[in-house]
Structure 1
Amino acid sequence: MLKWIDIVKFINNGNPVPDRRVEKTDAQWVLLLEPEQFRVTRKKGTERAFSSEMCSYFEPGKYACICCGTLLFDSAQKFESGTGWPSFTQPVKQNAVAYHKDISFGNVRVEALCATCDAHLGHVFPDGPQPGGLRYCMNAVALKKVESTERKATFGGGCFWCTEAIFKLLKGVVAVESGYSGGKIANPTYKEVGSGKTGHAEVIEVTYNPAEISYDELLRVHLSTHNPTVLNDQGTEIGTQYRSIIFYRSEEEKAMALKILDDVQQLYNQLVVTQLEPFEYFYKAEDYHQDYFNKNPDAGYCQAMIVPKLEGFKELYKDKLQPNLQAND
């Protein structure tokens, strides 16, 4: 998660390298853009406040650069700032946006640009909501809404290497990332979380297509692939960071989780201790934790702990595996 100190570092030390670059002359851009789009994005203009309905749209979706189509923001990070321009707390990726010092009009501000094509998007300020504290104040005309049916879910149930490996096999799951949620500090490190002092749980953030797999099904998979009756203990993984937990993003998800927890309780003589908390923020874990099993299949932990879990999972959920895995089986 980016914070103001990171933005300052980018300005002073250089911006992250974008995934790609698109470079055109003004003569080429003017043929591709509407006059107001060209004025704002290529000539660093500003649209009139409250001139776009985009400020009040909060339905699921993503926002891309009007010039080059690079994905910049997700509606999950959009908030009502009251300024008259669409506002976001974070970009979709750290290298999606570039930052330059702007001293026009006698003020010192931070200009936000598309890192791919240098389109002027707006400005970023350090007065946004916590935990990041950033407000990306964007010109609506610089963005285009990209409809998306994807949803996100966040679960914890032991070591995230195991849970990530399991959920990556499910049909309808688009992506799985390992990280931390539910704690007291921003941007925790693996070492800090492992101390048990930050309050975070090791979790996975699942991006999924609800047309192929439902939230209900994800919950049932989650609760059947670890022991939900043991407090802060999943075999060799002991501590609050390994607790069984579900983070819900809406009252509908909360109600569904409560129902399924009740269903699961009927299967056990012991009390199900899975925690249910409102989702606040997901902090992506360090790069070496991502896709750990597929990158280290022969590691001792993977062979001893993850492989047996995957074998049992594949047998239990044959009909929910990714199509290529079903064919292999």
Structure 2
Amino acid sequence: MLTWADVLEFGKNGNPTIERKLMKSEDEWRESLTDEQYRVTRKHGTERAFSSDMCNRFEPGRYACVCCGTLLFDSAEKFDSGTGWPSFTQPVQENVVAYNTDTSHGMTRVETVCNVCDAHLGHVFPDGPEPSGLRYCINAVALQKEENSAASVTFGGGCFWCTEAIFQRIKGVTEVTSGYSGGDVQQPTYNQVCTGSTGHAEVIQVKYDPEVVSFGEIVRVHLGTHNPTTLNQQGADRGTQYRSVIFYQNEEEKSVAGKLIQEMEAVLGKPVVTEVAPLDTFYPAEQEHQNYYNRNNGKPYCFTVIDPKLAKFREHFPEMTEASPA
């Protein structure tokens, strides 16, 4: 958890490191943003107080940078500060926000900017609620709400054709998308990821109804339907792109994943090599890889590899099995 001392340390000695940076020309930013978004985020402007209903909305959800889509804040850390701007006590990860000294308007303040694209977000003050004591005072126009993004989890456990088929059949899961995450190449292709040189893993992003199924229950299925003890390998599939990994979006998910891995180690009696890493960017895979099993279940790979995995899932998690999707 970040405190005011951490913020001052970043402002004095350098901001937290981030895995990627996004740079665009002024013309490119103008084309992708509204006039008000451009004024606030690229020209360090401030929106009028109480101009957005975001101040009074506290339903579950996450807020991303309007310029680059980087996840910045979670509604679980949102509170009513009465200032006229949306206020948060923490960012979703310590390194997604950067801090600069701002001496404009005859004051000395700490400016907050997106650490990926340098978009001006607002300021942070040491007058927020405990335990952090921080108030991130953010321009609503600098944020975009990602509906239902709080109820999602991204992980890899070998070929995404297999994992997708399993999680499409869990009660409470509303959508499963195959894709790539964890690497350094932007917009990777399947052929690039298959070389093992991009750093990405084949993953699925699962959206779910938390009133029906929990994050922990979904992770239990993940750990119980692939081999989490083999490094960079699932069956005949070998390479870092097939690694076992859970990408967390906040500290609570990180903690839950760690505890479940310890439980699995106790059950298996051997080390679990599943990586637990912060989610950066999820890239959806090409259309031919989406809904693969349901479209191709007569192909040899499906009935020799995926069907046994589905049978194992139904045997070990019968209470979570949903009817097969069309």
TM over 0.5: yes
Say whether the 8 Å CA contact 1:60–1:147 is kept in structure 2. Answer: no
> Residue 179 of structure 1 corresponds to which residue in structure 2?
179
The 3-state SS of whatever aligns with 2:178 is: strand
Shift in Å, 1:59: 5.8
Say whether the 8 Å CA contact 2:160–2:202 is kept in structure 1. Answer: yes
**Mapped partners of 2:59, 2:307: distance in 1:** 36
Report the count of equivalent residues: 235
The one-letter amino acid paired with 2:225 is T
> Residue 212 of structure 1 corresponds to which residue in structure 2?
212
Say whether the 8 Å CA contact 2:149–2:207 is kept in structure 1. Answer: no
**Mapped partners of 1:167, 1:201: distance in 2:** 17
The one-letter amino acid paired with 1:49 is E
Aligned pairs for 1:45-60 within 5 A: 49-51=47-49, 52-53=51-52
- What is the root-mean-square deviation of aligned Cα atoms in Å? 4.0
**What percentage of residue pairs aligned between the two structures are identical?**
43
5+ unaligned residues in a row in structure 2: which ranges? 1-21, 37-45, 71-112, 122-138
The 3-state SS of whatever aligns with 2:193 is: helix
The one-letter amino acid paired with 2:212 is E
**Mapped partners of 1:313, 1:236: distance in 2:** 20
Distance 1:129 1:260, change over 3 A: same
The one-letter amino acid paired with 2:258 is L
Say whether the 8 Å CA contact 2:156–2:202 is kept in structure 1. Answer: yes
Deviation string, structure 1 residues 279-298 (Cα, Å, up to 9, x no partner): 11111111110111111111
Distance 1:235 1:217, change over 3 A: same
5+ unaligned residues in a row in structure 1: which ranges? 12-39, 41-47, 63-74, 80-86, 92-126
Shift in Å, 1:134: 9.8
The 3-state SS of whatever aligns with 1:267 is: helix
Say whether the 8 Å CA contact 1:155–1:245 is kept in structure 2. Answer: yes
> Residue 223 of structure 1 corresponds to which residue in structure 2?
223
The 3-state SS of whatever aligns with 1:266 is: helix
Q: In structure 2, which of residues 68, 80, 84 is the aligned counterpart of residue 89 of structure 1?
A: 68
Distance 1:144 1:223, change over 3 A: closer
The 3-state SS of whatever aligns with 2:196 is: coil
Aligned pairs for 1:1-20 within 5 A: none
**Mapped partners of 1:246, 1:235: distance in 2:** 19
Say whether the 8 Å CA contact 2:170–2:321 is kept in structure 1. Answer: yes
Say whether the 8 Å CA contact 1:149–1:210 is kept in structure 2. Answer: no
Shift in Å, 1:185: 1.6
TM-score, with structure 1 as normaliser = 0.61
The 3-state SS of whatever aligns with 2:267 is: coil
**Mapped partners of 2:57, 2:203: distance in 1:** 26
Say whether the 8 Å CA contact 2:219–2:257 is kept in structure 1. Answer: yes
Aligned pairs for 1:105-184 within 5 A: 130=116, 133=117, 148=148, 151-184=151-184
The one-letter amino acid paired with 2:227 is N
Shift in Å, 1:269: 3.0
Shift in Å, 1:144: 11
Say whether the 8 Å CA contact 2:172–2:209 is kept in structure 1. Answer: yes
> Residue 267 of structure 1 corresponds to which residue in structure 2?
267
Say whether the 8 Å CA contact 2:232–2:238 is kept in structure 1. Answer: yes
The one-letter amino acid paired with 2:68 is T
